[in-house]
Structure 1
Amino acid sequence: MYFGERDFEMRNMQFLALFMVVVGSFLPLIHIPVIGNWNYYKIDSRLACMVWGFCIVIFLGIIFGKINIVRIFSSILLVLFIFTIIAVKFKSLDYFSFLPFKSWQESFAGIVRLSWGWIFEFAGAIMLLVLKK
């Protein structure tokens, strides 16, 4: 094993983690029974563009070997993902605010479910945060 082989393997793992985040943004993140599945772009196009922009910065950080940039922006991605989940829950409560009773609002807002795409989003961002150069 020569000197640079380990760095090459770690860089490949970082690219895999970044790929998971980007692909996860196109997978179903929210399931609404009547409407169907929504990905990040259908949830909010501005948030999706922010995620993709942060992924470009992370990509450049991986290319140039700037591990601090990768960690900072992967932390920002994690915060953005948590913010998005909280915002979806509050928006679903607000969406059904026309109903007369609070219990009806909560039960109808409960039909909006998080889907399996979040596993890719969080796993990729956590891998980016944990992996070392």
Structure 2
Amino acid sequence: MLIVKKFNAYLGLILAVIAAGISPIIKVPLKGNWNLYQTDQRLFLITFAILALTSLCLFVRQLKAFRLLTIVLFIWSLLMATAVYFKSNNYFGSKFFDKVLAKTIHYQWGWIVLLVAVLLLLTSVKRERLTTNS
């Protein structure tokens, strides 16, 4: 039987929406802080689609699907971090300009919020044995 820790699940969903929506992901010189939408719109839309499905599964109490989608969200956030890293390190296709650009782009605190949110979501569902007193 799957049991959900509602506080962890709700807090994780709220933090994930904040991290993916409005928190700064990278700092670009001359442009300022960019959130996920300004970094890559496809990553933003896919992330919010996964978050929407995860919250739907939580609200309709489909805990197996919720657990699966939290694992998918964890894997997706790892892929998203590597995609942003490689995009910033291979933007122009020239080694000189890419090295200069990679040294000027700094990652912001939005990644930490996303990591905490995903870890809260991963730890929100646990399996427990049903015991009967006979």
Q: TM-score, normalised by structure 2?
A: 0.79
Q: In 1, distance between residues paired with 2:55 and 2:35?
A: 22
Tell me which of 21, 29, 32 is aligned to 1:36.
32
Q: Which runs of 5+ in 2 are unaligned?
A: 127-134
Q: Which has the higher strand share?
A: 2
TM-superposition CA deviations, 1:12-38 (whole Å, max 9, x none)? 331111010001112001111222111
Give the AA of the match of 1:123. V
Shift of 1:118: 1.0
Matched, 1:14 2:9: yes
Aligned runs of 1:1-133 on 2, under 5 Å? 10-25=5-20, 26-98=22-94, 102=95, 105-132=98-125
Q: Which runs of 5+ in 1 are unaligned?
A: 1-6
Give runs of ≥4 in structure 1 deviating > 6 Å: none
Q: TM-score, normalised by structure 1?
A: 0.80
Q: Which has the higher helix share?
A: 1
Report % sequence identity: 27
CA contact (8 A) 1:70 1:129 kept: no
CA contact (8 A) 1:29 1:39 kept: yes
CA contact (8 A) 2:11 2:120 kept: no
Aligned length: 123
Classify the secondary structure of the residue corresponding to 1:37.
strand
Which sits farther off after the overlay, 121-130 or 73-82? 73-82
CA contact (8 A) 1:96 1:109 kept: no
